[in-house]
Amino acid sequence: MSEPKRDNEWITPAWLMDLVRVLARPHAITLDPFPAAGSHVRPRWKMRNGLGRASWAQLAAGGLVWVNPPYSRDMLGPCVARAIAEAELGAHVLLLVPSSTDTGWFHATHAAADQMCFLRGRVKFEGRADFGPLFPSVLIHFAGERGKYADRNKRAFAAVFAERGIVVTLGA
């Protein structure tokens, strides 16, 4: 698997990171497995390449894992698969990805995720003044270990992102 390339990074805008921080309360964004240069994330932990062996769930220790992965075809699928695997281990994970509903990785997230928010309009990523995205974006939420914290995380996700797009709760 290749390393993420700097021209493959889409820096999340500050307004969206502010909302993600609200979702992360009372904890924090504790892990960014694919940090971009100039990012607004400021997690407790960063990884050079989130596809390595370190456990996201252990590093996050109850906090939120924020994932805005590299969007190239060779990286996006493996990044999403890793997010699903870590969520199955109990990690609270929030993904920002293209709304590519025709892909296998999207269908895999739909089967595993707790919620999605199809963002209204196109996210204006920072550092991309030369062109905007050719795709809409979706936030995919894995609420973490089942129980009261997962329920709180689901309520918080719906409350935080309802005004920014269509929030869909999946599964039971």
Q: What is the pLDDT of residues 17-44, one digit of tens each?
A: 999 999 988 778 888 888 777 776 665 6
CB neighbourhood size of 135 (10 A): 13
String of DSSP letters for the chain: -PPPPGGG--BPPHHHHHHHHHHHTTS-EEEESSPPTT-S---SEE-S-TTSSS-HHHHHTTSEEEE----SHHHHHHHHHHHHHHHHTT-EEEEEEE--TTSHHHHHHHHH-SEEEEESS----BT-TT---SS-EEEEEE--STTHHHHHHHHHHHHHHTTTEEEEE---
Burial class (CB in 10 A: 0-12, 13-18, 19+), 142: buried
Residue 1 located in a structural domain: no
Number of domains in the chain: 1
Q: What is the pLDDT of residue 4?
A: 41
Q: What is the pLDDT of residue 6?
A: 46
Q: Could you tell me what percent of the chain has a pLDDT over 90? A: 42
Q: Any idea what the CATH number is for the domain that residue 123 is in?
A: 3.40.50
Residue 62 located in a structural domain: yes
Residue 89 located in a structural domain: yes
- pTM for the model stands at 0.87
The domain of 70 spans 6-169
Q: Could you tell me what percent of the chain has a pLDDT over 70? A: 83
Binned at pLDDT 50, 70 and 90, residue 157 comes out as very high
Q: What is the pLDDT of residue 3?
A: 43
Residue 152 located in a structural domain: yes
Residue 130 located in a structural domain: yes
Of 71-75, 103-107, 125-129, 149-153, where does mean pLDDT reach its minimum? Answer: 125-129
Residue 77 located in a structural domain: yes
Best-predicted range by mean pLDDT (3-17, 40-54, 106-120): 106-120
